[in-house]
Homo-oligomer: A and B are copies of this chain.
Amino acid sequence: MKPLILVTNDDGITSKGIRTLVEIMQTIGNVVVVAPNSPQSGMGHAITIGEPLRLYATHIFDGIDEYECSGTPADCVKLAKHYVLKDRKPDLVVSGINHGSNSSISVLYSGTMSAAIEAAIEGIPAIGFSLCDYTEDADFEHAVEPIAKITRAAIEHGIPKGIALNVNIPAKTTEPLKGILSCRQAKAKWLEKFDYRTDPNGRGYFWMAGDFINFDTEKEDTDVWALENNYISVVPCQYDLTEYEALDKLKTWNL
């Protein structure tokens, strides 16, 4: 029997990236789509509490069950599991293909990966796919075959329980991709710059922008190194934030 694959994303159901992902997944399994009705980039692991959620059937793709939701990517997975799919547990949740990198520290801000991690919390194997190209009309063609390969491998080998894979794919260049590397999350941060402007009513506002700062520049085992060297990066992500060494230190505080 073909696997049941739930597809979602954070760029919204009309984006080019989710269309590509749906087409890939249709070659592998039976696809159901529940995705946001508007862009949700940078939503992290936000969920909608205190406000109602809307869910409507859509007719964008060919011959599959598909729904758009007013909520966040994590909401989409929750609504899919508990309402749309009801008693059918998906064999896999895939999220993306994101228009833009979610490597390194960006995983924390990523709606794409929060959907995958939400599935992992539910005990469902999950993969988030992101292309390091932020443009709306990004070229996903070189990503198709490796995404299918990683997905088939995940189904064959099984993703360890409670883990979501964070897959990032270099933007298309004239060079072919060198391969796929399993990596750790690079130590890095964004150095924000706030651009202050004045609106037509005379009130100030800010645009947030930033530069990516990699603290792991010498290391070859990170996702950032892989991407900079034209490899696809795969990072297994978990959701236990406990830092166990610090826990031992805390116990000496005699609180």
Q: Which residues of A contact B (CB under 8 A)?
A: 39, 41-50, 52-55, 74-75, 78-79, 81-83, 105, 107-109, 114, 117, 121-122, 149-150, 153, 157, 159-160, 162-163, 165-166, 179-180, 182-185, 187, 189, 192-194, 196-197, 203-208, 234-247, 249-253, 255
Contacts and interface: CB of A to CB of B under 8 A. Distances in A.
9 contacts: A45-B109, A105-B121, A160-B246, A183-B247, A184-B244, A236-B243, A237-B243, A238-B242, A238-B243
Nearest to A154: B253
Given A117-B108, A253-B153, A42 B53 contact: no
A106 to B, nearest CB: 10
A216 B176 CA distance: 47
B41 A208 contact: no
Is the contact region of chain A dominated by helix, strand, or loop, or is it mixed?
A: mixed
Contacts of A114: 44, 108
Given A44-B47, A157-B253, 10 more contacts: A44-B44, A46-B109, A53-B208, A78-B194, A82-B193, A121-B189, A163-B246, A180-B255, A184-B247, A236-B249
Contact of A208 (B75, B117, B153, B240): B75
Nearest to A69: B206
Q: Which of A48, A107, A108, A251 has the most CB of B within 10 A?
A: A108
A41 B50 contact: yes
Nearest to A195: B52
